[in-house]
Amino acid sequence: MKIYKNAADAAAILRRGRFDDEEKRAAVRAIVQDVRTRGDAALFEYCEKFDGASLTAATVAVSREEIGEAYAQVSADLLSSMKKAAKNVLDYHSRSPMREDIRTDGRGRTTGYTVRAVGRAGIYVPGGTAPLFSSVLMGVLPAKAAGVEHIYVCTPAKDGKIAPAVLVAADLCGAEKIFKAGGAQAIAALACGTESIPKVDVIAGPGNIYVTLAKKEVYGEVGIDMLAGPSEILIIADGKQNAAHIAADILSQAEHDRLARAILLTDSPAFAERVAAETERQLALLPRSGIAAYSVENSGGIILVKDMEEACALANEIAPEHLELACENCEALLPRIRSAGAVFMGGSTPEPVGDYFAGPDHTLPTGGTARFFEVLNQDIFLRKMSVIRYTEEALAEDAADIVRLAENEGLHAHANAVRIRTEKEKRK
């Protein structure tokens, strides 16, 4: 793993390029429009073209028989662990709901907001190179905690099959239906509705570049959680940490895909050397070493900083998906962090704790978008509605100001809607 003497030398790996291009964008736009126009017919054609799945209206939704078969293929130990993780995730997302706030000022004015869950949510679960059943938990359960009535899962079915653990997770979490559809065509189906897949209000969940571009394309027809790109981790570590532990954390992200990015910031040159050596040693032992090696070589690195203050400032510029503060004084560093998807505190909190089990969601903003996007949470599936109520007396008291404001904008009908209720001779 390459060691950079400063941030300037590491500009190439710090500069995250755009995750889209015009050719891919045009292809996605065509798919979305085709599904919008032809519905199921287009959806099934693209599923067969890209995933080898021959689907019909009768087979696109996973049957109870298929779910039963999936349970038979999942070990009791895995099911037990999955249930524990699901409980943690649901408990976490249930403990901090957005709450109604309606207040009266004592003079006839009631204002505030009420909260409602969206009616339908679509959860996208990537197919990719690994069965990401954890993404089912992290997508479905926040919607469940929010009180969404209808929750649908879409995931690619390679040759018509979905990984058993994914099916079990979706059933365990209470998804109403699971559809054998992935890619941009699935996003289009959820956004526009087809004969087989209902139109939803919000789409959440990560995917490849085509999924992300499709979410971008349909935003406005539906709500979305974020525009997620390749996975990434940034670690800030002092020289007192275990080099093997930090190397393992680097590789835990590098193995996601070839575009994943793993970066270490440290103020200790000796520690940097130890981590670099340990990363190479562990890399040779990984089943997914080819993917991880490409990621480490092309998007990863160790950057030397003069102190932890510089490290925090650099972290805020990068705005990483995952940020590990592997330092003895991590609590003192946290207030300096402004932009990150999730922060992992201390040397005993590796990123996979959040990926699988702790409770907070692992669907996080990437590519610097943590500056303005937030982690997937139940608020994504909730909507505030303003509530306003005036008594007759309160309206009379504020009428002159409201009329004046409206008339000065040239909106005289607005002014009249107030005046007609407050003039001395009220119209019947």
Residues designated catalytic = 321-322
Report angle CA 2, 260, 326 to the nearest 5 degrees.
Answer: 65
CA 296, CA 367: separation in Å to the nearest integer? 17
CA 229, CA 214: separation in Å to the nearest integer? 13
The number of beta carbons lying within 10 Å of the beta carbon of residue 331 is 11
Residue 58 contacts by C-beta under 8 Å, 6 or more apart in sequence? none
C-alpha to C-alpha distances, 345 to 28, 316, 360, nearest whole angstrom:
39, 16, 14
Residue 263 contacts by C-beta under 8 Å, 6 or more apart in sequence? 10, 13, 14, 232, 233, 234, 235, 300, 301, 302, 303, 318, 320
Handedness of CA 59, 62, 64, 68 (dihedral sign): positive
Residue 256 contacts by C-beta under 8 Å, 6 or more apart in sequence? 230, 231, 291, 295
Handedness of CA 289, 21, 122, 50 (dihedral sign): negative
CA 181, CA 186: separation in Å to the nearest integer? 5
DSSP state string for 123-135: EE---TTS--HHH
- For the chain, what is the radius of gyration of the CA atoms? 26
| Alpha helix ranges (H) inside 242-329 | 243-254, 269-283, 289-299, 308-318
